[in-house]
Amino acid sequence: MLLRVENLSKKFEIKVGQKKLIESINGISFELEKGEFLALCGPSGAGKSSILKCIYRTYIPTKGHILYNSYEYGLVPIQKAPDWQMIRLRRKEIGYVSQFFSVIPRVSAMDIVAEPLVRYFGVDEKEARERARWLLRRLGIPSNLLDAYPSTFSGGEQQRVNIARAIIWKPRLLLLDEPTASLDEKSARIVLELLKELKEEEVGMIGIFHNEAHLKAIADKVLEVKKYE
């Protein structure tokens, strides 16, 4: 078992302006093994992204347990892990590809991708950049863009830089929020190919796809997330 989610629920309590309680997800349970790909399905607003964000601890779950089997720490209850431990897990074990480009201004595409290797895995700068270049080229980023700032890139190019930064260090658990959403068919196929390679290397993954064909190409199992009523 790499990850076990039990009865996970998330409500947002808005305390300013129009006070209200927003129910996001309720009673989600599943288990994930190493090298397994779980796809989350369901209508927009069903809370698929919220599940990923709870696992990454961008959201604090309201109820339930998220048990992650860490290489470094053994079983970690993510919902109550101390902040320093989450930071460490995010650097060394759990990767996340967000739906939107997470901006690091004024850093070149190649350095954005190479950075985690250099900072958290002690890889020599030259080698890290070489690996970043290789990965970005494989993802179809033209070589004249490697030294440019991604804030000027197209949505699809930014998406691929995002993916490259998350997979270059080969996390043990990878969370993917619509990784192929803004990609053309050719780039999407390359991304799926890379994800399949990660699967063979035992990376456990949870992903959200809107494209049925993409989902079928990679998923081992599917969790249907229903809109909370």
* Residue numbers at the binding site for other proteins (CB under 8 A): 12, 14-17, 53, 57-60, 83-84, 86-88, 104-106, 119
Q: 65 - beta bridge partners? A: 6
CB of 99 to other proteins, least distance (A): 13
Q: How far apart are CA 132 and CA 147, in angstroms?
A: 11
Q: How far apart are CA 103 and CA 149, in angstroms?
A: 10
Q: Which is nearer to other proteins, 83 or 229 (CB)?
A: 83
Residue by residue, what is the 3-state secondary structure of 120-132? HHCCCHHHHHHHH
Contact 161, 104 (CB under 8 A): no
CB of 121 to other proteins, least distance (A): 14
Q: Which is nearer to other proteins, 71 or 84 (CB)?
A: 84
Written as one letter, the residue type at 195 is L
Q: Which is nearer to other proteins, 161 or 215 (CB)?
A: 161
Q: Which is nearer to other proteins, 90 or 133 (CB)?
A: 90
Question: Residue 214: which of 18, 61, 39, 77 has the closest Cα?
Answer: 39
Q: How far apart are CA 114 and CA 164, in angstroms?
A: 9
Q: Which is nearer to other proteins, 106 or 186 (CB)?
A: 106
CB of 201 to other proteins, least distance (A): 27
CB of 67 to other proteins, least distance (A): 19
SS3 state of residue 205: strand
Q: Which is nearer to other proteins, 53 or 131 (CB)?
A: 53
| Residue 227, both tokens | 């809109």
CB of 58 to other proteins, least distance (A): 5
CB of 181 to other proteins, least distance (A): 19
C-alpha distances (whole Å) from 89 to each of 18, 75, 137, 216 are: 36, 12, 28, 29
